[in-house]
Structure 1
Amino acid sequence: MPAIPVTVLGPAESGKTVYLASLFRRLAIPRPDIGFHVQLPPEQSTLLNRIYQQIASPDIWPDPTKTAAISEWEFTCSVRTARNQTFSPFSIRYLDYSGEHLTELDERVEGAKRVYSRIVESEFLLVLVDGAKVLRFFDGDFRLADDLLLVFSHMMKSEAIVHFVITKWDVLAAAGHTLQTVVDCLMKHPDFKDGVGTQLRNNPVSGGVRFIPVSSVGLDFAALGPDGRTMIKKGAFPTPLNVEVPFMAVLVDLFNARLKEMEKRAAPEAQWIAQRSQTLKWVRMAKDKLPLVQAVLRTAAAKSPMLRMVPDHMVDALAAYAERKVAVYSERVERDIARLRGRMLQVASQKDALTALVALFDAKLAEFEAEHPGSHLIEGGTPWTTTT
C-alpha cells in the first residue's frame, strides 16, 4: 500500500513541527495501550527526536520552522506479533512547512508552489488550530478567524478529507473548556460556520469533518504565561495527549471513503462496535443529567400530589442504575479493544495486519467520539449546538 499523503495546514506558531515530533515520540516504541508503533528513516527519527528533546528540556522551545524549510516525514505503521515478526502494512507521509507559506502564499516562489500543489492534490488535510488563540477567541479576540479564513480558501481548492486538530489542548482544558464548548464557540463565527458547512455539503464522500483536541506536551507540562501568549514550562516530563488519534483517523476515514465510493456496507463488527459506542455516549449523557432531574423532581414534588408518589430513593436508584450502565458499557468497549489488540499479535501477513489495524483504529475512534461528543460533524446530522 503506497504512503498516504497528508498536508498539515496551520499558520505560524500553530505547532506543526512540535506535533509531529510528539507523534513520533508517542508512537516510536510499542505501547500496551496503543498496539502498534511507527518507524521513520534514520535521519528523520534523529531530527524529530532532537526536536522532542528541546520540547522536554526545562528552559527552551524548538525554533519556529524557517520560511524556506519544507519537509516530508514518512511514518510507517508497524505491528509486532507474538512470534516477534514485524509487519508494516501502510505509511503516512506528512508535509510540514513554514506557516508563512500559508498566510503569505506567493505562487511565484518555488516552495509556495509546492505547498499549493500539494493542497490541491491532497486526500487529507490536517488543519492545526492554535489552542491559545482559541482561548483568546472566547474573550472576543477574533484574529484566529483571519488565519483560518486563509485555510478555508485553500480547502475549497481541494476535495480532501479534513481533520481540525485543536493544539495546546492543555491550555483550554485548564480553562475548563470541553471540545463541545470549543466547537460551539468557533461555530458562532460566520466565516468558520460557513467554511465547515461548505466542506460538509460539497464533499459527502469524506464522511464528515473531525475535531480532535491534542496536547503535544500533556496537561501538566506547561501553563500559559501572564501575557496570554507565552507557554511557561513547569518542570514536569511531557506526556502527549491524543496525538495518535489523527493518525488513526486517516486510515479509518480513507477506508470509509473507499467503502462509500463502492457503495458497500461497513463490516458487521465495525457496526457493532460503533453501536455500542453510541449507546455508551447516550448513557453517559443521561448520567450527567441525573442531578438536574433529581433537583427538578424534588422541587416539583412539593407542588404536585402525583409527583410526591415518586420517592427519593427511586430517583437515587435510577442514578445508581445509570452508574452501573456506564461501568458495564465502558468495560465492554475496553474488552472489544483489548480483543482487537490481541488479534494483531496473531497476524501472519501484511493484509492481516492492515485488517486488524483498521478494526482497532475504528474501535479506538468510536471510544474517542463517545468521550468527546461533537468531535465528528456529519452532513445531515445535528453537528453543533450553536444558537443564533
Structure 2
Amino acid sequence: MPSIPVTVLGPAESGKTVYLASLFRRLAIPRPDLGFHVQLPPEQSTRLNRIYQQITSPNVWPDPERRAAIWEWDFACSVRTARNETYSPFSITYLDYSGEHLTEPDGRVEAGARVLRRIEESEFLLVLLDGVKVLRFLEGDLRLMEELVAVFGHMLKSKGIVHFVITKWDVLAAAGHTVQAVMDCLLQHPDFKDTVETLLRSPGGAKGVRFIPVSSVGLDFAALGPDGVTMVKKGGFPSPMNVEIPFMAVLMDLFAAQLKELERQGTPESQQIAQSNQRLSWVRMARDRMPLVRTFLRAAAARSPVMRLVRDHMAEAFLQFVETQAVAYSDRVEQDISRLRDRMLQATSEKEALAGLLALFHAKLAEFEAEHPGSRLIKKEASWTA
C-alpha cells in the first residue's frame, strides 16, 4: 500500500494534534455520508483516542505536546464494500510535532533537525492557522503574522503543494466571518500576500492554494471565553466539521498536479488545445494520448518519491482518473455524491476502490468549494484546474 507523506505545519497551540485526533475520530467509522474510513496501527489509534477523550471531557483540553515529541500517524484509507470486503488502496502519513521546532528552532537538537529536513523534502504541507489568533488578527492584533513569518521561512524551502487549514472555525463562524472575508483580510498583509504569491509561482502551486476552514469540535461544542483566548466547553458531543477535506485534497492534488505538469510539458499543439477549452479539452487530449501520459509518469517518478508511488501502485488509477474527468466535465453527472458512494461500495479490487475514492473525493471537494466560494486561489493562467 503506497503511503503519501504530509507534514503538518503550525506554531505552538495551532491545534495540530487535536485536529489529527478529530480527523481520526471522524474517519475511524464507515459513516453513511462518507463511505470510507481510516485504520491506524493499534498504538497510534489508542493514543489519538485518548486525546479525543480529553477533548470530550468537561473543562479539560489536551496538553500541548512537549518539544521533544514527534509523532507520525499512518492513516490507511479503507473502503468496506457491500460484500464486507475491505480494501486499503493508499495511506497518508502525517508528521506531527511541537510547534516550537519552527518558532524557536534549535539546530543542536536532533529532533528539530529531523523536522526541518522533513519540511524541506515534503511534497505536501498543511499549514494550520489558529482560528482564535486569526480572529484577533481580523480585529487588528498582528501577533499571528509575527508567528507565521518563522513558519513561512521553513515552508518556502519546500517545493511541495501547500494548503492553509484554519482551525477553530467555530469561533470565526460565530463572529459572522466567511472564508472569503478571512482570506481577503490575511492577503492584505504584505508578508502573507507575498508568501502566497510565491507559492502560486512555485512548481507545487499548479493546483493552487486552498484555505480550508475546519472545526475539530463543531460549531456548538465550545465558545470563546470572556478572556478572548480560552475555549469554554458548552456540553454535548463534538461534531467535527470539514476535517476530512484536507485529507481528500491531498490525494486529488497529487493527481491533478501531475496532470498540470504534463500540460506544461506538452507540445505547442497540446498547449493550444488546452488554452482553447481549458479543462475539458485538456482532459480529453490526455485521454487520447495515454502513451504520452505513461511516458510522463516514468519521467516524473525519476524526480519525485511520491510520483514513484503513483507509478508503482497507482498508475492505472491515474489513467482512469484522466478518463473519468472527461466524462465528469462533459455532463456533470459526477456531482451525484450519493451515487458515487454507492458505486464505490461495489468495488471488487483495490484498483476499483481507488478509482471510486477519486471520483467521490472530486465530487466532495467540488461541493465544498461551492459552499465556500473563493476558498481556492489559482495562478492566473489558462488551466484545466481554473
Report the TM range for the smaller structure's normalisation. Answer: 0.7 to 0.9
Equivalent residues in 2 for 1:327-366, closer than 5 Å: 336-366=336-366
Structure 2 CA distance for aligned equivalents of residues 3 and 204 of structure 1: 19
Alpha-carbon deviation of 1:147? 1.3
- Do structure 1's residue 75 and structure 2's residue 93 form an aligned pair? no
- Do structure 1's residue 24 and structure 2's residue 24 form an aligned pair? yes
Contact 1:209 1:378 (C-alpha < 8 Å) held by counterparts: yes
Report the equivalent of 1:134.
134
Structure 1 CA distance for aligned equivalents of residues 370 and 352 of structure 2: 27
Equivalent residues in 2 for 1:1-388, closer than 5 Å: 1-203=1-203, 206-263=206-263, 265-266=282-283, 267=322, 269-270=324-325, 273=328, 336-380=336-380
Amino acid at match of 2:120: V
Contact 1:79 1:88 (C-alpha < 8 Å) held by counterparts: yes
Contact 1:270 1:362 (C-alpha < 8 Å) held by counterparts: no
Report the equivalent of 2:312.
none
Aligned residues: 327
Contact 1:160 1:206 (C-alpha < 8 Å) held by counterparts: no
Structure 2 CA distance for aligned equivalents of residues 260 and 112 of structure 1: 34
Contact 1:205 1:260 (C-alpha < 8 Å) held by counterparts: no
Q: 1:274 to 1:221 in 2, by over 3 A?
A: farther
Structure 2 CA distance for aligned equivalents of residues 371 and 268 of structure 1: 27
Q: 1:259 to 1:205 in 2, by over 3 A?
A: farther
Unaligned runs of 5+ in 2: 267-281, 284-321
Structure 2 CA distance for aligned equivalents of residues 26 and 204 of structure 1: 28
Structure 1 CA distance for aligned equivalents of residues 58 and 329 of structure 2: 42
Structure 1 CA distance for aligned equivalents of residues 235 and 83 of structure 2: 40
Unaligned runs of 5+ in 1: 278-331, 383-388
Q: 1:356 to 1:105 in 2, by over 3 A?
A: same
Amino acid at match of 2:172: L
Contact 1:5 1:123 (C-alpha < 8 Å) held by counterparts: yes
Alpha-carbon deviation of 1:151? 1.6
Contact 1:270 1:363 (C-alpha < 8 Å) held by counterparts: no
Amino acid at match of 1:4: I
Report the equivalent of 1:325.
none
Alpha-carbon deviation of 1:272? 5.7
Amino acid at match of 2:119: I
Aligned to 2:163, the other structure's residue is in SS state strand
Deviation digits for residues 62-108 of structure 1 (CA, Å, limit 9, x no counterpart): 00000010000000000011111000000000000001011011222
Aligned to 2:157, the other structure's residue is in SS state coil
Amino acid at match of 2:152: F
Contact 2:204 2:257 (C-alpha < 8 Å) held by counterparts: no
Contact 1:40 1:73 (C-alpha < 8 Å) held by counterparts: yes
RMSD: 1.8
Alpha-carbon deviation of 1:204? 5.6
Amino acid at match of 2:22: S
Amino acid at match of 2:93: R
Q: 1:204 to 1:163 in 2, by over 3 A?
A: closer
